[in-house]
Amino acid sequence: MFQPIIFIIKWFMTRKVSTPKTTTTTSRKPTPRKPRTTKEPNIETNIENKTPFDLLSLIKIEIKHKNETQKKLTTSIKNNDVTICTGPAGTGKTFLSCLQALSELKNNENIKKIVLVKSVTTLKSEEIGFLKGTMEDKMEPFMYSFVGNFEKIIGKELYTKLKDSNQIEILPIAYLRGVNIDNAIVIIDEVQNISIENIRTILTRLGENSKMVFLGDVKQIDAKNKYDSALSFLLTHFSGVDRIGTVEFNKEDIIRHPLIKVIEDIFDKVEEDKKQEQSKQIKPQPPKSQNIGGIKKEKSLIQKILSLFK
């Protein structure tokens, strides 16, 4: 009777208790994740110290000259303290000057900024009246030739950042008196519309380690007094002076559009014909007559009669 019970007890005692398998996981060191590289903004400004980060490494410059006069201009800017350049529209004067100025800013350790100066004289009979806004707002319409060239070379964003970081500055002629411009390259455009008195003020602002570039066209004088044009004065009196270079473009150097050469030729012919017509209209005046004793006599005849009594 107890045998089945004893058998069951023995069976439980001799049974191998199967212990659950414990899976031992080898502890592996977690591989460090590579930090997610977030692209830093190309341009940033340290607001606390008010010093801009290096923006110059973003400037990519490649100067390609299309003629010998263009090469002469960039060489003069590089080698001289002052460069005076004249020539017709479409020869690339302003574009090359902006290009070389950026090259100086990037590669010349003495040049810390570019200063842009331009006459605010408008075209004849095209005055636009009083302009509202800040000084920069008022100057903006006149500076478009500069802005367009800089944006074409380095892009709008980088130009704006360089201007915001004061590496490109706009300076009206009216505020130049008493200013010393050191460690800068100054580009002065439309010099033919600047007076001789004002050009003297600009020239004497030249400071330590600075360069100046004067650009203009003697045929596009919009100033009221053409004889007070600073560009003609500079070309006449400063050619051949040491450390001052002069560059003159002509119609053969025009690269903007083929029609510009034709346009210049037509206007030159019209002006020449006008001068010849004016010279024909000017007739020699007869000698002034005098009335002596109620008789009108020629001055030359009276002098002959008086000479007989001497």
**187 pLDDT more than 90:** yes
* Residue 162 to residue 101: CA distance in whole angstroms: 13
Mean of pLDDT values over 55-70: 90
Say which residue the tokens 């390259």 belong to.
Answer: 185
User: Per residue in 105-164, pLDDT tens?
Assistant: 999 999 999 999 987 664 444 444 555 666 666 667 778 889 999 999 999 999 999 999
In the DSSP assignment, the letter for residue 229 is: B
What's the mean pLDDT when you consider all of the chain?
79
* CATH class name, domain 49-122+131-256: alpha beta
**299 pLDDT more than 60:** no
pLDDT: is 22 or 251 the higher one?
Answer: 251
**38 pLDDT more than 50:** no
Tokens at 204, concatenated: 């004497």
Instruction: For 19, list phi and psi in degrees, rounded to 5.
Output: -80, 140
**46 pLDDT more than 50:** no
CA-derived radius of gyration, the chain: 40
Residue ranges per structural domain of the chain? 49-122+131-256
- pLDDT the model gives residue 274: 80
Per-residue confidence band for 271, with pLDDT thresholds at 50, 70 and 90: confident
Question: Taking each helix axis from N to C terminus, what angle separates 156-164 and 144-154, rounded to the nearest 10 degrees?
Answer: 120
Dihedral of CA 111/235/190/270: which sign? negative
B/e letters for 270-296, b = 16+ CB within 10 Å, e = fewer, are eeeeeeeeeeeeeeeeeeeeeeeeeee
Mean of pLDDT values over 3-17: 63
Per-residue confidence band for 49, with pLDDT thresholds at 50, 70 and 90: very low
Q: Do residues 150 and 159 lie in contact, with contact meaning Cβ atoms separated by under 8 Å?
A: yes
**1 pLDDT more than 90:** no
Q: How many CB atoms lie within 10 A of CB 232?
A: 18
Per-residue confidence band for 287, with pLDDT thresholds at 50, 70 and 90: low
pLDDT: is 309 or 200 the higher one?
Answer: 200
Question: Taking each helix axis from N to C terminus, what angle separates 93-107 and 68-79, rounded to the nearest 10 degrees?
Answer: 40
Task: Return the amino acid letter for 159.
Answer: Y
* Residue 195 to residue 211: CA distance in whole angstroms: 21
pLDDT: is 223 or 239 the higher one?
Answer: 239
In the DSSP assignment, the letter for residue 134 is: -
Euclidean distance between the first and final Cα of the chain, in Å?
191
Q: Which of 51-55, 192-196, 214-218 has the lowest mean pLDDT?
A: 51-55
- pLDDT the model gives residue 125: 45
Dihedral of CA 156/159/161/166: which sign? negative
Q: Do residues 167 and 98 lie in contact, with contact meaning Cβ atoms separated by under 8 Å?
A: no
Coil, helix or strand at residue 82: strand
pLDDT: is 253 or 1 the higher one?
Answer: 253
Which residues lie closer than 8 Å to 196 by C-beta, 6 or more apart?
A: 228, 229, 230, 233
* Residue 192 to residue 233: CA distance in whole angstroms: 9
**186 pLDDT more than 70:** yes
Work out the angle at residue 110's Cα, subtended by the Cα atoms of residues 106 and 115, and round it to the nearest 5 degrees: 70
- pLDDT the model gives residue 203: 93
**41 pLDDT more than 70:** no
Q: Do residues 241 and 209 lie in contact, with contact meaning Cβ atoms separated by under 8 Å?
A: no
**20 pLDDT more than 90:** no
Which residues lie closer than 8 Å to 198 by C-beta, 6 or more apart?
A: 173, 230
Q: Which of 208, 136, 144 is nearest to 172 (CA)?
A: 136
Q: Which of 103, 108, 88 is nearest to 217 (CA)?
A: 88
Mean of pLDDT values over 53-75: 89
- What pTM value is reported for the model? 0.68
**50 pLDDT more than 50:** no
Work out the angle at residue 130's Cα, subtended by the Cα atoms of residues 129 and 132, and round it to the nearest 5 degrees: 140
Q: Which of 21-25, 87-91, 150-154 has the lowest mean pLDDT?
A: 21-25
- pLDDT the model gives residue 29: 56
